[in-house]
Chain A
Amino acid sequence: MSTIETSTEPAKAPTVPPAPNRIKGIASQLLGTPRVIIGLGLLALLTLLAFVGPLVSGWEVGERDYAALFASPSADHWMGTNKTGQDVWTQSTAGLQKSLLIGLLVALLSTGIAALVGAFAGYFGGITDRALMWIADLALVLPSFVILAILAEQFGGEGGWIVLVLLLAMFSWMVTSKMIRGMTISLREREYIHAARFMGVPSHKIILRHILPNMSSLLIADATIAVSTAIIGETSLSYFGFGVQPPDISLGVVIADGSKYANSDWWIFAFPTVLLVILVLAVNMIGDGLRDALDPQSKSRRS
């Protein structure tokens, strides 16, 4: 891996734009990528739906309409009701809200951890590098599924989903951190880093002010993919009851509830599933487009 990176490096160096134009450059490049525009549009729509949807339906989250169990979509219940008479539209949009939050928070946290660990390991090298990468290996081998499943039940109740976010983030930073370590090693020997070091800038400042900003495009693209990974992970966990615990509700929980009736009362399953697929699709489109636009050297290697 490292040989490949060093060989492509000289070609890449002149294309790095000077700092003041950077944000402008990124913005103009993004607006030229239709995938990103469509993805952002969809995401904005879904966000609106998630926060406005539960308010306009006329039903409270979790409220039961005992007169209409398993009702098919109607004017009263736009997407029908489930086995306990809860409004599928309200439940799904409220679930979408939590799924969005979980995805964003997990992505933010895991990319943050990955950036710090990878950059420190790559910059200092030696024993720090070995120790940090060993921790990353350990986190890869730890049975994350078992840990999540066993701890999920311990953290039920109000706000329990925050613990889920922390756990999901704890087990999703490793691969990215290894990539960032590799890039840091190649950045470490650049002239401007040397210059900063000789001027007496402390190491942590060099990492935060000079190394990480130079990888911002990669970090942004990776964080986007991490959003969809987290959402999918949460859905899978929730299917077995190991994810978000009641009274909190997420798309995964709604889908898991609906899956039992997918054959007879399809609307309970179909609506939340369609929301989820559109959400992940939108996020992936943004992520993939971002990576292509900002980082032509690594065209979505990991997806």
Chain B
Amino acid sequence: MGKFLVRRLLNYVVLIFLATSFAYLLAAANLYPRGYFEQMQPPPTDEVINTQLDTLNLNDQTPLAQRYVTWLSGVAQGDFGQTIQGGDVTPQIWLKAGVTLRLITVATLLGSALGIAIGAYAAVRQYRMFDKAATVASFFVLAIPTVVIALSVQVFATGINEALGFQFFLFSGEYSAGFQGNGWELLLNRIHHAILPTFVLAVALFAAFARYQRNMMLDVLGADFVRTAMAKGLTRRKALFKHALRTALIPTITYFTFTFGVMVSGATFTEKIFGWHGMGAWLIDAIFQQDVHIVAAASCFMAVTIMLASFLSDILYAWLDPRVRV
């Protein structure tokens, strides 16, 4: 088992390295950082631009391979280079990751808990009213892209704000700019800002989890061991909770782990629409600003989270489901 895990991890490191390199090469070959300096007012001379680009290791007159090697030797020492404005990329990664994690932790927990509860109950009441309503609701939500959910929520929130005459819902930024106040007030302000984006993410996740958990539960409900549990005299409630739900949760937990990793990049659209400066929004802005190093760093971070998530979900599965271990 240990040797297997080490080999697996090594493989992941290679994959992450390839993915990041690919992102860097693609960005360096296709983005045009020179344009960022050329459109400055007043326009700097070519020499100034070239020295600027040289210090940033972004000069398109240097061969791509050479730039790549310079960048790579920096990354090997934990330095992802500089942004186009000249700041260091590495400390920013943690800052942006923090914003994204704050947003998705609550949303994934909320969405999955709701989805699991509704899905499991719907399976128990298969083909009854509740099941049908839950199915229709999740089908409907699954048919709407997150972008559209986010936009519609914004439209509704604006409408309510206008009707009430004051800012009941806030939907831009992580906290009010220049907000003064002690710890509690700041926390409240942040929570106030987080309500809508969290809601959007949670709704999208709820639908997926409800469908998933319902199907898992249905598979288990027909299984022999649940019948045995009821036959040996357990109450229906006990049989369902202790035997059926527990077993049906195993695949869902691994699914949850995986979802959490994917959400780091999956929350991109929500972040961008609600003006949260997280990982995904950072990446999109970087592409618009022709910032090669940020694109590479953000891609690396997302690759790491996806690999980590799939690794963890595999381990969890093996740990929770004894059948896999044999």
B interface secondary structure, majority: helix
B26→A147 contact, CB < 8 A: yes
Partner of B215, one of A141, A143, A147, A300: A300
What A residues does B26 contact at CB under 8 A? 146-147, 150-151
User: Per-residue CB proximity of B121-163 to A under 8 Å, as 1/0?
Assistant: 0000000000000000001101111111001101100110000
A277→B15 contact, CB < 8 A: no
Query: In this assembly, does B265 line the interface, its C-beta being within 8 Å of a C-beta of chain A?
Result: yes
Query: In this assembly, does A262 line the interface, its C-beta being within 8 Å of a C-beta of chain B?
Result: yes
A143→B303 contact, CB < 8 A: yes
Considering the chains assembled together, what is the distance between the CA atoms of A281 and B287 in angstroms?
Answer: 32
Query: In this assembly, does B205 line the interface, its C-beta being within 8 Å of a C-beta of chain A?
Result: no
B151→A137 contact, CB < 8 A: no
User: Per-residue CB proximity of A262-297 to B under 8 Å, as 1/0?
Assistant: 110010010001001110110011001000000000
What A residues does B299 contact at CB under 8 A? 143, 146
Query: In this assembly, does A110 line the interface, its C-beta being within 8 Å of a C-beta of chain B?
Result: no
Query: In this assembly, does B272 line the interface, its C-beta being within 8 Å of a C-beta of chain A?
Result: yes
A interface secondary structure, majority: helix
Q: Determine the interface band of chain B, counting residues with CB < 8 A from chain A.
A: 35 or more
Count of chain A residues with a beta carbon within 8 Å of a chain B beta carbon: 42
Interface 9-residue window, one of A12-20, A179-187, A207-215, A235-243: A235-243
**CB nearest to A278 among chain B residues:** B143
Query: In this assembly, does B245 line the interface, its C-beta being within 8 Å of a C-beta of chain A?
Result: no
A3→B287 contact, CB < 8 A: no
Query: In this assembly, does B211 line the interface, its C-beta being within 8 Å of a C-beta of chain A?
Result: yes
User: Per-residue CB proximity of B195-233 to A under 8 Å, as 1/0?
Assistant: 000000000000010011001101100000000000000
CB distance from A40 to the nearest CB of B (A): 16
Query: In this assembly, does B306 line the interface, its C-beta being within 8 Å of a C-beta of chain A?
Result: yes
Taking CB atoms and an 8 Å cut-off, the chain B residues in 245-281 that contact chain A are 265, 268-269, 272
Query: In this assembly, does B66 line the interface, its C-beta being within 8 Å of a C-beta of chain A?
Result: no
What B residues does A143 contact at CB under 8 A? 19, 22-23, 265, 298-299, 302-303
Query: In this assembly, does B283 line the interface, its C-beta being within 8 Å of a C-beta of chain A?
Result: yes
A151→B30 contact, CB < 8 A: yes
**CB nearest to B135 among chain A residues:** A288
Considering the chains assembled together, what is the distance between the CA atoms of A49 and B208 in angstroms?
Answer: 30
What B residues does A138 contact at CB under 8 A? 15, 18-19
Considering the chains assembled together, what is the distance between the CA atoms of A55 and B269 in angstroms?
Answer: 34
Taking CB atoms and an 8 Å cut-off, the chain B residues in 1-53 that contact chain A are 11, 15-16, 18-19, 22-23, 26-27, 30-31
CB distance from A269 to the nearest CB of B (A): 7
A262→B151 contact, CB < 8 A: yes
CB distance from B145 to the nearest CB of A (A): 5
A280→B16 contact, CB < 8 A: no
Query: In this assembly, does B307 line the interface, its C-beta being within 8 Å of a C-beta of chain A?
Result: yes
Considering the chains assembled together, what is the distance between the CA atoms of A4 and B151 in angstroms?
Answer: 42
User: Per-residue CB proximity of A130-158 to B under 8 Å, as 1/0?
Assistant: 00001001101111011101110010000
Query: In this assembly, does A24 line the interface, its C-beta being within 8 Å of a C-beta of chain B?
Result: no
**CB nearest to B299 among chain A residues:** A143
B151→A141 contact, CB < 8 A: no
Taking CB atoms and an 8 Å cut-off, the chain A residues in 81-109 that contact chain B are none
User: Per-residue CB proximity of A218-255 to B under 8 Å, as 1/0?
Assistant: 00000000001000100110011000000000000001
Partner of A303, one of B146, B147, B148, B212: B212
A-B contact list, 15 entries, CB within 8 Å: A3-B323, A138-B18, A140-B310, A141-B307, A142-B303, A143-B303, A150-B26, A236-B145, A240-B272, A262-B151, A269-B151, A273-B148, A277-B143, A278-B143, A284-B142
Q: Which residues of A contact B (CB under 8 A)?
A: 3-4, 134, 137-138, 140-143, 145-147, 149-151, 154, 228, 232, 235-236, 239-240, 255, 259, 262-263, 266, 269, 273, 276-278, 280-281, 284-285, 288, 299-303
Inter-chain pairs besides A146-B27, A278-B143, 14 sampled, C-beta below 8 Å: A141-B15, A142-B18, A142-B23, A146-B23, A146-B26, A149-B284, A228-B143, A235-B145, A239-B269, A240-B272, A280-B145, A288-B139, A299-B215, A299-B218
